[in-house]
Amino acid sequence: MGTVVAGLEGVVAGVTRISRVEGDVGRLSYCGYDIVELAEQCSFEEVIYLLWYNELPGRKQLREFVAKLMAERPLPTGLVYTMRTLPHTTPPMDALRSCVSLLSVYDPEDPLDTGDESNWRRAFRIMAKLPNIVATFERLRTGHEPVEPNPTLGIAANFLYQMTGQIPNDLSARAMDVGLILHADHEFNASTFSCRVTVSTLSDMYSAITSGVGTLKGPLHGGANQEVIKMLHEIGLLDRCETYIMEKLNRHEKVMGFGHRVYKNGDPRAAILKKMSRMMGEQAGDLLWYQMSHRIEEIVWREKKLHPNVDFYSASVYHNLNIPHDQYTPIFACSRVAGWIAHIMEQFSDNRLIRPVGDWVGYEYRPVVPIDQREAQPQAAA
Ligand code: ACO
C-alpha cells in the first residue's frame, strides 16, 4: 500500500495540454498563453476556441465558431416548461445541476454514440445553453418571462442582457467577459477532475458536466464567491472589517476567498479581478465593496500570510454588475464548462478508468453472527 496523500495534494493524476498552473511563480496559462495576456486581448469566445482546439482562432475561424455557438443558444421547449414548474425557492445552482442533467433527454444524438463527432456537437449545445439556463431561471424565479438571446451580442453581454432585459454598457460587458475568461479552466481542479472521473467510465458528457456542476457548488470550490459577498454584506462598513475578520480568525474560521491549494504566492486571476472590481466600483459611484475587500486583503495577509484567490474580487465585480448573489457560482459554471468540455474530450482521447484505492483502517476480518445472537450496538439503537 502506498502513502495516503490527504486531499490528493500534489498527486499527479494525468497529463494535460489545456491549462498549466505554476503555483510557485503565480502563473496560469491556457495552452501556453498567459492568462494576463488573454484577459487583456481576447474575448471569452476566443478562449473557448483555444481550450477546445489548442490554438487561438483567426477571424474567419472565430466567426464560424461563434455562429455555431449562437445557433445552439435556444433551450428545448420541454426544458423551459420544466423550469417553470421548479419552486421559486430552488437554489440556482441546484436548478442548473438538474437542468444540465435534463438537457441530455433532449439531445438529438444517439445516446449510445459517444464518438468524437457527436461529442463535439454536444459540446456546442452544452456550452451555448448553460448561460441561457442560468438567465432563464433567474427570470422565472423572479416572476418575469424569459428574454430571448440577442444574436448581436457575444456570450458575456448576451448573458447580462438575458438576465436583466437590458443591453449592458461596454465596461460591464467587458467585466463579465474578463470574469468568464479567468474562470474558464484551471488544470485538475476538483470539478474538472470529477468530470474526468465520470467520463473515464465511458459515461456520457451530460453526466460528466452534471458531476462538474455538483462539485463546483461546494464552498471550498466555486461556492466561495457567494460566501465572500455574504461576508461583505455582514460587515457592511469599512470600519468594521478589522473586528469582523479578527473575530472570525480567533474562532479559527476560514475567511472565504483566501488561500489556495496550489498558489501559495498569489493567484494571478485575483490581481486582474481586483483592478476590475475597482473600475466597476468607480462606474457605479460606489467604491465601498472594493475598499472593504482591499482592507480585508490587508488584514488576512497581516494575520495569516494568505493571498486572495479568484473568488474574492469576483464577488465585488459581480455585485457591481447587479447580479443576484446566489447566481455567482452558476456564472462560474457557465465559464468553467469550457474547460470541463476540453478536459472531457482530452480524457476520451486517451482514456483509462480512473480508480484509485483506499487504505483500509476499519475492522479486521470477522464472521457474521446470526441476527438473533447479535448484541444491540449503541449506534444501531440510535
Ligand atoms: N482563512 C483562514 N485560514 C485559512 C484559509 C482561509 N481562507 N485557507 C487556509 N487557511 C489555513 C488553514 O486553516 C490551515 O491552517 P492550519 O494549518 O493552522 O490548520 C492552513 O491555512 C492550510 O489550509 P488548508 O485548508 O489545509 O489548505 P488546502 O490546500 O487544503 O485548502 C482551500 C485550500 C480549500 C482553498 C483553503 O484555502 C480554503 O478553504 N479557502 C477558503 C475557501 C475558498 O476561498 N475556496 C475557493 C478556492 S479557489 C477555487 O476553488 C476556484
Tell how far CA 155 is from the center of its chain.
16
Ligand 1 pocket mutation pick from 19, 215, 220 by most atoms within 8 angstroms of CB:
220
- C-alpha to C-alpha distance for 179 and 186, rounded to whole angstroms: 14
- Rounded to the nearest angstrom, the distance between the alpha carbon of 223 and the centre of ligand 1 is 14
Q: Is residue 24 part of a domain?
A: no
Q: What is the pLDDT of residue 261?
A: 86
Q: What is the pLDDT of residue 345?
A: 98
Q: Is residue 1 part of a domain?
A: no
Which ranges of the chain would DSSP assign to H, the alpha helix?
35-41, 44-53, 59-71, 77-85, 92-103, 116-141, 155-164, 170-182, 190-200, 205-216, 224-235, 241-250, 268-284, 288-304, 310-320, 328-349, 378-381
Instruction: State the Cα–Cα distance between residues 133 and 129, nearest whole angstrom.
Output: 6
Question: Is the C-beta atom of 261 inside 6 A of ligand 1?
Answer: yes
Evaluate: CB of 10 within 6 angstroms of ligand 1. no
Q: Given this model, what pLDDT does residue 382 score?
A: 47
Instruction: Report the alpha-carbon distance of residue 206 to residue 284 in Å, rounded.
Output: 39
Distance CA 162, CA 152 (A): 13
Distance 18 CA to ligand 1 centre (A): 25
Q: Are residues 311 and 345 in the same domain?
A: no
Evaluate whether residue 206 is within a structural domain. Answer: yes
In whole angstroms, how far apart are CA 52 and each of 159, 277, 338?
21, 29, 8
The amino acid present at 381, given as its one-letter code, is A
231/201 same-domain check = no
**Longest alpha-carbon distance in the chain:** 77
Beta bridge partners of 34: 29
User: Is 191 near ligand 1, meaning CB less than 6 Å away?
Assistant: no
Please tell me the distance from the alpha carbon of residue 22 to that of residue 246, in angstroms, as a whole number. Answer: 31
User: Both 210 and 230 in a single domain?
Assistant: no
Both 167 and 252 in one domain: the answer is no
> Ligand 1 center to residue 264 CA distance, Å?
10
**Which CATH number characterizes residue 134's domain?**
1.10.580.10
Question: Are 203 and 156 in the same domain?
Answer: yes
In a domain, 85, yes or no: yes
Confirm whether 260 is a catalytic residue.
yes
Tell me which residue has its CA closest to atom 21 in ligand 1: 259
- Residue 221 CB less than 6 A away from ligand 1: yes
Q: Are residues 187 and 230 in the same domain?
A: no
Domain boundary (320, 336, 361) is at 320
Domain boundary among 303, 320, 337: 320
- List the residue whose alpha carbon is closest to atom 47 of ligand 1: 221
Range of the domain at 156: 35-219+327-349
In a domain, residue 29? The reply is: no
Based on the domain organization, do 116 and 45 belong to the same domain? Answer: yes
**Is the Cβ–Cβ distance between 270 and 260 less than 8 Å?**
no
Does residue 368 sit within a domain?
A: no
Q: How far apart are CA 181 and CA 256, in angstroms?
A: 22
Predicted pLDDT of residue 30: 98
Of the candidates 171, 145, 144, 146, the one whose C-alpha atom is nearest the C-alpha of residue 157 is 171
Contact 127, 338 (CB under 8 A): yes
CA distances from 80 to 21, 124, 268, 290 (A): 38, 19, 38, 37
| Residue 194 alpha carbon to ligand 1 centre in Å | 20
The best mutation among 260, 265, 312 to test binding of ligand 1, ranked by most ligand atoms within 8 Å of the C-beta, falls on 260
How many alpha carbons lie under 13 Å from residue 293 in its C-beta half-sphere?
33
**Does the Cβ of 257 fall within 6 Å of ligand 1?**
yes
**Within the chain, which residues score under 50 in pLDDT?**
382
- On whether residue 16 sits in a domain, the answer given is no
CA 80 to chain CA mean position, Å: 23
Ligand 1: centre distance to CA 274 (Å): 20
CA–CA dist 18, 48 (Å, integer): 11
For residue 20, being part of any structural domain is answered with no
Residue 191 sits in the same domain as residue 271:
no
- Considering the domain architecture, whether residues 193 and 236 belong to the same structural domain is answered as no
Quick check: helix, strand or coil at residue 299? helix
Q: How far apart are CA 293 and CA 312, in angstroms?
A: 8
Report the distance separating Cα 355 and Cα 357, nearest Å.
7
- The verdict on the CB of residue 196 being under 6 Å from ligand 1 is no
Say how many Å lie between the CA of residue 193 and the centre of ligand 1: 19
C-beta of 20 in contact with ligand 1 (< 6 A): no
Domain tally, the chain: 2
Q: Is 311 a catalytic residue?
A: yes
Give pLDDT, residue 2. Answer: 81
Name the closest-CA residue to atom 31, ligand 1.
261
Q: What is the pLDDT of residues 7-16, one digit of tens each?
A: 999 899 999 9
Is the minimum distance from the CB of 276 to ligand 1 under 6 angstroms? no
Contact 334, 190 (CB under 8 A): no
Here the CATH number for the domain that contains residue 310 is 1.10.230.10
Do 206 and 233 belong together in one domain?
A: no
- Asked if residue 138 and residue 249 are part of one domain, the reply reads no
Query: Does residue 282 share a domain with residue 191?
Result: no
